[in-house]
A and B are shown apart, each in its own frame.
Chain A
Amino acid sequence: MVAERVPEKVAGATRKLPWTNIRRIGAGLTTPLHPDDYLSLINPLWTARELRGRIEKVIPETDDAATIVIRPGWGWHYDHVPGQYVGIGIQVEGKFHWRSYSVSSPPKRTGRTIAITVRAMPEGFLSEHLVSGLEPGTILRLAAPNGDFVLPDPPPAKLFFLVGGSGITPVMSMLRTLDRRGTMPDVVLAYSSPTQDRMIFRDELQALQDKHEGLRLHEQYTDDDGILEMSDLDRVCPDWRERETYACGPAPMLDACEEHWEQADLEDHLHLERFSLDLGGDGAEGGTLTFTNSHKEIEVDGAKTVLEAGEEAGLGLPYGCRMGICHTCTLTLAEGTVRDLRNGDEYNGPNVSIQTCVTALAGDCTLDY
């Protein structure tokens, strides 16, 4: 949560980078810059100041989806858990835009690349850009893997994946890992896609099905068959009640799942991945927010983020992804307590960096801005 832009700390966290100490000494020569600022002139990936990556390949999967293979730079650990997502920052018309995408490649400690698979959404200007507009060699920013849509280790004996469209990506990472480790349990995958052509990873999934006795694939082509209704579950996967279910797809589908599993009193066995910021926390108490430098004050409730409150007060606060990934919005909390709406963590001043886009007031607060 606390934004750390100090490169030593980024690198030091791993204890794997042998160059960390040398670079720290080098900082005496390059101050106020960091040695990495000069090294990245030679190779843009030679910096741990901010996580970076270079696009190695763009592999078309369907007409409107592509897998993007990224070579991360210094400071990347290749230890994501299958199902997690990474933040991707891409400069379009000079401005970095941030989105998060599930990693579709399995984790590999000896790996050199990671892959994300992206479908161009009609309204998603960045996904469109990712699928069709990126040249290999493009440098992008990365945010460390995150997310708790992950399989426990060892995996449950009986699994049910309920997937719609590009929601396949985190599941693909899980399936590839289960395949690679030879730990594929009893798995049912119900996968909806508008047509056969638009079904991402169809060939690979069918190959996996042929290889693993325990894996059964149900393909639903919604243009012809209609969407998979919850009432169809008993037909598609009769023993769904006995399985740990992982669902990823469009919001209406996830809402329907949530309701259905709640009615069956099985919500503990349902795991969801939503691709929009879910500030589902209990909110905070709210209070008076004071901006010291601009002498502005505003009363806010506990559901509004600090960023939204600042904008309401007429301040042009910095922001980037607005979902807690990129840390562009980080400001200094001089006094008071804020709560992270994603997980309920609290941060107390003075002099604490907070991400304004995902925190709300727990009482009166003062910000240095």
Chain B
Amino acid sequence: MAIADVKEYTHLSPEEVEELGRELDQIRADIEESRNSDDAAYINRMITIQRRLATAGRITLFASKWKPAFFAGAAMLGVAKILENMEIGHNVMHGQWDWMNDPEIHSSTWDWDTAQPAEQWKHSHNYVHHQFTNVLGHDNDIGYGILRMAREQKWNVFNLGQPIYNALLASLFQWGVALHDLDIESIRKMEKDPEVMKKQLKQIGVKVRRQVGKDYIFFPLLTGPAAIQTAKANALANLTRNLWSYMIIFCGHFPDGALHFSEEEIEDETRAEWYLRQMLGSANFTGSRTLHIMSGNLGYQIEHHLFPDLPSNRYEEISNRVRPLCEKYGVPYTTGPLHRQYGQALRTIMKLSLPNKFTKPARHDSADSVEVPRGRKKDSERPTRRTETGTWTSRASA
């Protein structure tokens, strides 16, 4: 069921919703107030560990003709790439560390170790996904234009191939993400502004050339006789990162319990209602401290969506305050072990490859919702943006 009004769905009065909003604002204020040198040390330590690990991995691969070195090097590099993309890059680009005033760890200057240009990521993710989270027709991350992830999304015979597209998306995740902001569908329909398209393609081209050059040409050549093995190890590291980040990201909004919303919800939505939508539309997962760091603290997806620009190392602490709030107001707080959350997401992918009439709606679905056509909204058709989701430069996007 797509929710048209979060207040009605949660049976909260407008006053209660505003009160909830004030309590969440208070959490934000407390965390902002208490950011300190320990937090700064955390991100600096993370960056140091990540760079050392990447260096160690690259050096180990000079011996990549020897099997144990091949796997050890690929593993170190894979973990380094995961840390860089998830706990460092994603979070820095949200502006989580901008408060430090450090020009070297700043959302405006960071670029990450993946094929998507930072500028396009900040548009498609910080703005489009974080502000319009799970709003049908507005949030392009509901299936990324490839998968049908809500019953309201119109079925097409093309969707029968979902299990295959899903496997491809998982293994080629970095390339899927790289093309995400480009909006291939609008290019196919000849609706894309050619100026913007040219600019975006150029950005992607430069970034892809550099990434591919590094992993598949320069480093392999540097290792001389081990070149082929090194290239393979680098591919393995990239694949590991792809599969892992794909899985973590699919656990954010696709498990059962993460709800969708219709366009009516975001008409005149207040800040408190936006908070409420973020809570209803996101899903956490449980696990060890290491698991949370390796997933960029996106196991605290609810907290991340409430406060996208607060430092990720604080999400655990924030969750200890958000959970009681959810209980107090009777708002569901979706969480579970990683395997269960991903299992549910996978089930939805399989199920929705078929037309609605062949499958039973889940408890939180309803069969009679309006169908939402495919295609994306232009920025000019969207409501004013919120600044707390992080910045981006619009020149590169539609």
Contacts and interface: CB of A to CB of B under 8 A. Distances in A.
B71 interface: no
Interface residues of B, number: 43
B111 A294 contact: no
A113 B127 CA distance: 45
Contact of A293 (B210, B219, B392): B392
B388 to A, nearest CB: 8
A327 interface: yes
Contacts of B286: none
A177 interface: no
A41 B48 contact: yes
Contacts of A293: 127, 385, 391-394
Contact of B210 (A32, A318, A328): A32
A316 B219 contact: no
B109 interface: yes
Interface in A311-342: 315-316, 318, 320, 326-328, 330, 332, 334
Contact of A29 (B111, B214, B393): B214
Interface residues of A, number: 41
Nearest to B112: A32
Given A38-B51, A41-B52, A315-B387, A95 B101 contact: yes
B55 A96 contact: no
A66 to B, nearest CB: 22
Interface string A78-109: 00000000000101111111100000000000
Contacts of B395: 332, 334, 350-351, 368
A31 B210 contact: yes
A167 B263 CA distance: 62
Nearest to A292: B394
B393 to A, nearest CB: 5
B106 A328 contact: yes
B100 A95 contact: yes
A41 B210 CA distance: 23
A369 interface: yes
B131 to A, nearest CB: 11
B40 A94 contact: yes
A332 B393 contact: yes
Contacts of A49: 104
A94 B36 contact: yes
A155 interface: no
A50 interface: yes
Interface string A29-48: 11111000110010000000
A268 B39 CA distance: 51
Nearest to A351: B395
Tell me if B's interface is mostly helix, strand, loop or mixed. helix
B210 A91 contact: no
Nearest to B48: A41
A41 B387 CA distance: 34
Nearest to B122: A293
B102 interface: yes
A121 B318 CA distance: 37
A29 B219 contact: yes
B301 interface: no
A218 interface: no
Nearest to B95: A318
A15 interface: no
A95 B211 CA distance: 32
B213 interface: yes
Contact of B100 (A50, A96, A327): A96
A328 B104 contact: no
B104 A50 contact: yes
Contacts of B100: 91, 94-96
A5 to B, nearest CB: 5
A37 B55 CA distance: 11
B86 to A, nearest CB: 16
Nearest to A327: B103
Nearest to A91: B40
Contact of A5 (B35, B99, B103, B393): B103
B36 A37 contact: no
Contacts of A351: 395
Contacts of B111: 32
B116 to A, nearest CB: 11
Contact of B218 (A28, A94, A295): A28
B384 interface: yes
B98 interface: yes
Interface string B86-118: 000000000000111111101011011100001
Interface in B349-375: none
Interface of B: 35-41, 48, 51-52, 55, 98-104, 106, 108-109, 111-113, 118, 127, 207, 210-211, 213-214, 218-219, 222, 384-385, 387-388, 391-395
27 contacts: A5-B109, A30-B214, A31-B210, A31-B214, A32-B111, A38-B51, A41-B51, A41-B52, A41-B55, A50-B104, A91-B40, A94-B37, A94-B39, A94-B100, A95-B35, A96-B101, A96-B102, A292-B394, A293-B385, A293-B391, A294-B387, A296-B384, A318-B106, A320-B101, A327-B103, A332-B393, A368-B393
Which 3 residue pairs are nearest across A and B when measured between Cβ atoms? Answer: A94-B40, A32-B111, A96-B101
Given A28-B210, A94-B99, A368-B394, 16 more contacts: A5-B103, A28-B213, A28-B214, A29-B214, A29-B222, A32-B111, A32-B113, A41-B51, A91-B37, A94-B38, A94-B41, A96-B100, A141-B103, A328-B106, A330-B108, A334-B394
